[in-house]
Structure 1
Amino acid sequence: MNPELIFAADADSFGSGRRSLALQCRAGQLVRLRAGIYIDVEVWRQLRAWEKERVRIQAASQQVPGQRVLVQQSAAVIWGLPVIDSPPEVLLLASPSSHGRRRGGLHWTERKLLEPLDVVEGMSLTSRAQTALDMAVYLAFEHSVPAMDSVLRPHLVHGRPATNKDELEKLARNLPDMAKQTRARRVIDFADPRSESPGESYSRAVLHRHGFPVPELQYEFLTSMGRFRTDFYWKDQRVVGEFDGAVKYGANGSVLPPSWDTLMQEKRREDAIRATGVAFVRWSWRDIRMPAQHPESLVHRLIQAGLSPTRRQR
């Protein structure tokens, strides 16, 4: 359910007036999303970071007159596709007269429509498949892989089926030029629906860029404590990799420490997998984003565990 937005235009209509909203905002009772659009501060505090981004885009979509078709990362947020580092601007499909225009946190950008537009929760946007393809064309490789992995799986919330690679490649052939088609195909070829989280997808893409060998995904170990799946396994080197995505958030978006029981269960699981004779490397978002030369970076830690790049970095 979308949180209620408070519009200054409605305040004028019902007599409370814009000044009242501005005073409530200064008093810390409301949060200003855009000029003339507010949300209750307690409602805002209950939202997680990605939910706040969704509300920010929703506010812009409702305020813009005329054509307001969401594209690329902005469309991805509404679809629930993973977005790494959301842009500060809301991205909208440009008409011929508004190509490249920027105003008030909005950016109209030209895109060739590959499929009919969709409507999600009253917002017009590019199709789920086109959104992922546009990200593949215009974003860095590792930033586009999580979304492409995601469209290869069914969308349970909106009841949309998975898109297969043949369908994506067929759409990609309609991109405006060969360079864009090549960029899209590279991401499509690499995409894998077995990556179960944005962190796993992003990790896989970063490892690929650094030239590491291809891991087996969701490999199952039979241990003394039972069967456990792992995110990454390099069988020849006997190295297990795990992206630590089990982060819990409080109502205000703050990171909460895991419970003692959770820590102990995970330690027992990790010890059981290690007892099979493999090296075990666990990493977080912080580790992935460190420079490769840093002693705590993902790249450095994998090399220490016995895994070496097999080709030159791309």
Structure 2
Amino acid sequence: MKTHKGVTALLRAAERERRCAIGENRALYHALRRRTKSLEVTSPYPNLFADAAYWESLNPEERSLHVIRALARLHPKWIFAGLSAACVYGYQHGYSLHDGSVFIACEHGRNAADASKLRRLYIRTDILRYTCNGIPVTSPAQTLLDCAAYPFANALAIYDSAFRTPYAKPEEVRARMLRVNCDESAVTRLLRHADSRSENGGESFARGRMIELGFAVPALQVEFDNPDNHRMPYRVDFCWKLSDGRVIIAEFDGTAKYRDGSNKNRASIQAKLDYERRREHHLKEAGVTAIVHLFYEDVTVDDRLRSKLLSSGVPYLR
């Protein structure tokens, strides 16, 4: 399709601001719509647009933030809530939670004119307006209450991440829970298990899955001596120290660490392999009796995760 200077300028300006472009007038809107039909442009939300190749380069969280930033310009009175607010705050979470929906806080239900992807989260009273990165959002406490609606392991990652910041506090979540409608049992369970020592969302999700399946809750980031450098001890993701003297550790890796031998970085990969072997040798010398390596594919499948943990001797409480 013939280049349209106005469309090109609009899309590039939006990309610089990390948001979607807005069909600002009738002519530009129809020019953008024509390009969505030719697949040059994508429209993730009514009247919002992005270059198709640029959009493809974004991960699901970045796409959500592009939509949120544009909608914040179009609707300055909206207060973003739930997963949308969690994205703005930067709380870690699984990309699988994104389905294109946008969440806002409201004192009433859905309007007939609402876009199909707009989700209004009803808050009975006292919708507090916070601002993060220039975007109106619900308070950290309210955001966590709303996110408790997700499956436990997914929500736990959000709670762990939030409590690593100075702005989200468990006591504020508990106080807010008493004032608004929410799933109190889900929130209480999440607060009981949330742990800011978890280093990333993947580890939090893996721990949540262990708890869901009925395994003993592991200690996090336990340190073991590193004979090669006593000032830099080894830290393990998960550890169980049992009464009979056994010490079991689990390490989570959300992506495959090693590529095939044809990789141009083969030397560095070999160095990593050598380091991992030496690390495991030192851990066993320090009293570790079993080491289990968990990958994302393991923790998402009940039977695989259960089998790996049981075969390593992790206590099963059910």
Same fold (TM over 0.5): yes
Q: Is 1:70–2:80 an aligned residue pair?
A: yes
- For residue 118 of structure 1, report the CA deviation from its aligned partner: 1.0
Deviations 1:178-208 (A, max 9, x none): xx33332221121111011111111112211
Counterpart of 1:232 in structure 2: which amino acid?
Answer: F
Partner of residue 171 from structure 2, selected from 161, 166, 182: 166
- For residue 61 of structure 1, report the CA deviation from its aligned partner: 4.3
Q: Where does structure 1 lack aligned partners over 5 or more consecutive residues?
A: 155-160, 249-256
Q: Is 1:38–2:49 an aligned residue pair?
A: yes
CA contact (8 A) 1:217 1:231 kept: yes
| Structure-2 residue corresponding to 1:6 | 21
Partner of residue 131 from structure 2, selected from 86, 104, 119: 119
| Structure-2 residue corresponding to 1:243 | 252
* Identity value in percent: 24
| Structure-1 residue corresponding to 2:240 | 234
Q: TM-score, normalized by length of structure 2?
A: 0.77
Deviating more after overlay: 216-225 vs 271-280:
271-280
| Structure-2 residue corresponding to 1:134 | 146
* Cα distance in structure 2, aligned partners of 1:172 and 1:41: 42
* Cα distance in structure 2, aligned partners of 1:269 and 1:56: 44
Partner of residue 194 from structure 2, selected from 188, 191, 195: 191
Counterpart of 2:163 in structure 1: which amino acid?
Answer: L
Q: 1:76-95 to 2 correspondence within 5 Å?
A: 76-84=86-94, 85-88=96-99, 89-95=101-107
* Cα distance in structure 2, aligned partners of 1:126 and 1:170: 15
CA contact (8 A) 2:155 2:190 kept: yes
Partner of residue 213 from structure 1, selected from 208, 212, 216: 216
- For residue 301 of structure 1, report the CA deviation from its aligned partner: 0.3
In the alignment of these two chains, the number of paired residues is 285
| Structure-1 residue corresponding to 2:8 | none
Partner of residue 308 from structure 2, selected from 278, 301, 305: 301
Deviations 1:118-162 (A, max 9, x none): 1223322111222112212x22222211111122112xxxxxx24
Tell me the secondary structure at the aligned position of residue 103 of structure 1. Answer: coil
- For residue 304 of structure 1, report the CA deviation from its aligned partner: 0.6
Tell me the secondary structure at the aligned position of residue 160 of structure 2. Answer: helix
Q: TM-score, normalized by length of structure 1?
A: 0.78
Q: Structure 1 pair 196/175, CA: closer, same or farther in 2 (3 Å)?
A: same
Q: Is 1:273–2:283 an aligned residue pair?
A: yes
Q: Structure 1 pair 97/54, CA: closer, same or farther in 2 (3 Å)?
A: closer
CA contact (8 A) 1:25 1:32 kept: yes
- For residue 6 of structure 1, report the CA deviation from its aligned partner: 2.2
Report which of the two structures shows the higher radius of gyration computed on alpha carbons: 2
- For residue 92 of structure 1, report the CA deviation from its aligned partner: 1.8
Deviating more after overlay: 100-109 vs 228-237:
100-109
- For residue 34 of structure 1, report the CA deviation from its aligned partner: 2.3
Q: 1:283-302 to 2 correspondence within 5 Å?
A: 283-292=294-303, 297-302=304-309
CA contact (8 A) 1:281 1:302 kept: yes
Tell me the secondary structure at the aligned position of residue 192 of structure 1. Answer: coil
Counterpart of 1:206 in structure 2: which amino acid?
Answer: R
CA contact (8 A) 1:100 1:109 kept: no
| Structure-2 residue corresponding to 1:253 | none
